[in-house]
């Protein structure tokens, strides 16, 4: 947001210069028209100068309105961004607490199963959806060692494989209670 403020502040001298040039053109045109003192005020020269003065005045008004609107929109945008930043910070705080609780629950379950530190690491990576090959690369172990750890995890937990391991921890987290009951009992076709 500060970059946007700086960009607008950088344009402020340009806006002031443009306003000054337009004001000088309007005043200069009016003075020229006065000194020319055309005998018939509806002569081509007088009409031309009056139309230039009018165009400059209209341009000044339009530029001022556009500048005012942009400042107004910028203020609204700042307010929306600040609101979203506050919402994001609150969500992060809430999610952080939930994730910390989830991590603690994982650790307690891994302890109850008697997993070694290496098996805990592998189990966590399996839950994240990493392949045996990817885990081997990330941990610097052989793929065969990762498979052996995975088999030990499944035996100690009494689960049948990666899908059951994931379901054990994540099954109840995927949908809120109302959505779970709706998914289990979808409305009949044609019902609204």
Q: What is the tens place of the pLDDT at every residue in 102-142?
A: 889 899 999 999 999 999 999 999 999 999 999 999 999 99
User: Is the residue at 188 inside a domain?
Assistant: no
The model's pTM is: 0.46
CATH number for the domain spanning 122: value is 3.40.50.2300
Q: Do 47 and 111 have their domain in common?
A: no
Count of domains for the chain: 2
For the stretch 140-165, pLDDT in tens is: 999 999 999 999 999 999 999 999 99
User: Is the residue at 192 inside a domain?
Assistant: no
Tally of residues, the chain: 192
């Amino acid at each position: 947001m500060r970059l946007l403020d700086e960009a607008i502040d950088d344009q402020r001298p340009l806006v002031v210069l443009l306003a000054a040039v337009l004001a000088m053109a309007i005043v200069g045109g009016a003075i020229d028209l006065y000194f020319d003192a055309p005998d018939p005020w509806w002569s081509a020269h007088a009409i031309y100068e009056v139309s230039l003065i009018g165009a400059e005045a209209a341009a000044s008004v339009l530029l001022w309105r556009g500048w005012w609107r942009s400042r107004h929109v910028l203020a609204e945008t700042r307010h929306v961004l600040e609101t979203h930043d506050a919402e994001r910070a609150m969500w992060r705080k809430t999610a952080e607490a939930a994730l910390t609780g989830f991590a603690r629950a994982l650790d307690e379950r891994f302890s109850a199963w008697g997993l070694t530190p290496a098996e805990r690491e592998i189990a966590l990576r399996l839950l994240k959806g990493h392949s045996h090959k990817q885990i081997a690369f990330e941990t610097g172990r052989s793929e065969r060692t990762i498979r052996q750890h995975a088999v030990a995890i499944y035996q100690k937990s009494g689960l049948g494989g990666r899908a059951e391991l994931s379901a054990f921890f994540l099954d109840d987290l995927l949908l809120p209670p109302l959505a779970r009951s709706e998914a289990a009992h979808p409305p009949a076709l044609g019902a609204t």
